[in-house]
Amino acid sequence: MADRPLVLAHRGASRAAPENTIEAFAAARELGADGVELDVRRTADDVLVVHHDPDVEGFGTIARHSFEALRVARPHVPALDEVLAACRGLLVNVEVKCLPWEPDADSADRPVMRAVTTALRAHAPDAIVSSFDLGAVDACRAFAPELTTAWLTSGQDIASASAIAVAHDHAWLHPDRGSALRDLDAGIRAAHTRGLRVDVWTVDDPEEIRTLAEAGVDAIVTNVPDVALAVLR
């Protein structure tokens, strides 16, 4: 694996099975992915569940209902603990959905991030905690310095973002594909010079996967891990 980027299945192998489900994570393993990317939210009774949006279609806002109600109505939405058990042996990139303007925003003392770190300690070292909220991953560093952390960015040039990530003592930068491709060689070089690893999301086009690999990115998040692996062989 040292000769190619890691391949992380976006919300599991989401072209092969419904995203962020146990089936999608099992499919990612079967297709040979090195790991998975997933999204974490909390229920009204503070159970961590894996789902991208704050709302579940036809059910309502996750943060306003108990886990039991969610499980009865939408049994396909798994708890984080269930996913971690299913993904043992895989690298798991946990994106914590706690942005201030969302209905399940974390509060000032960061109970959601505390709960995530507690859950992930058992999965370490095969875990990365990431968020678009820089303060959230800073909190993870404070609560559990042994965990690997990453700052997720969108629309920011990699060189500038990497300087911020390093200043906050994070190990990874996770830029979007558009930003990475726009500032490819200089951006990746700047990040690596600062000691950061770079994981680009979400890349499904074979030529883009090849281009990013040739530029030296460390990981690629993709909906089609089988396609990515075929390109990178």
* Sequence-separated (6 or more) residues with CB below 8 Å from residue 193: none
- Indicate if the pLDDT at residue 1 is higher than 50: no
In a domain, 191, yes or no: yes
CATH number at residue 25: 3.20.20.190
Q: Residue range 54-69: average pLDDT?
A: 97
In a domain, 90, yes or no: yes
In a domain, 1, yes or no: no
pLDDT of residue 195: 98
CA 129 vs CA 175, 202, 230: distances in Å = 15, 17, 27
In a domain, 10, yes or no: yes
Q: How many residues does the chain have?
A: 233
pLDDT of residue 125: 84
- Indicate if the pLDDT at residue 142 is higher than 70: yes
Tens of pLDDT, residue by residue over 91-105, are 999 999 988 999 989
In a domain, 55, yes or no: yes
Q: Which two tokens stand for residue 9?
A: 């299945």
Neighbours of 217 (CB within 10 A): 26
Of residues 2 and 55, which shows the higher confidence score?
55
pLDDT of residue 123: 83
- With contact defined as beta carbons under 8 Å apart, do 83 and 50 qualify? yes
Tens of pLDDT, residue by residue over 8-36, are 999 999 999 999 999 999 999 999 999 99
pLDDT of residue 3: 87
Distance CA 171, CA 151 (A): 9
Q: Which two tokens stand for residue 38?
A: 């997933």
Question: Which of 206, 229, 208 shows the shortest CA–CA distance to 7?
Answer: 229
Question: Residue 124: which pLDDT band, with cuts at 50, 70 and 90?
Answer: confident
Whole-number average pLDDT of the chain: 96
Q: Which two tokens stand for residue 185?
A: 């060689």
- Indicate if the pLDDT at residue 2 is higher than 70: no
For 43, the domain range is: 6-232
In a domain, 57, yes or no: yes
Helix, strand, or coil here: 48? strand
Tens of pLDDT, residue by residue over 159-179, are 999 999 999 999 999 999 999
In a domain, 111, yes or no: yes
* Number of compact structural domains in the chain: 1
Tens of pLDDT, residue by residue over 179-219, are 999 989 999 999 999 999 999 999 999 999 999 999 999 99
In terms of C-beta distances under 8 Å and separation of at least 24 residues, what long-range contacts does 19-24 make, across chains too? Answer: 19/52, 20/50, 20/51, 20/52, 20/77, 20/78, 21/76, 21/77, 21/78, 22/78, 22/82, 22/83, 22/86
In a domain, 138, yes or no: yes
Q: Residue range 124-129: average pLDDT?
A: 91
- Indicate if the pLDDT at residue 84 is higher than 70: yes
Question: Residue 126: which pLDDT band, with cuts at 50, 70 and 90?
Answer: very high
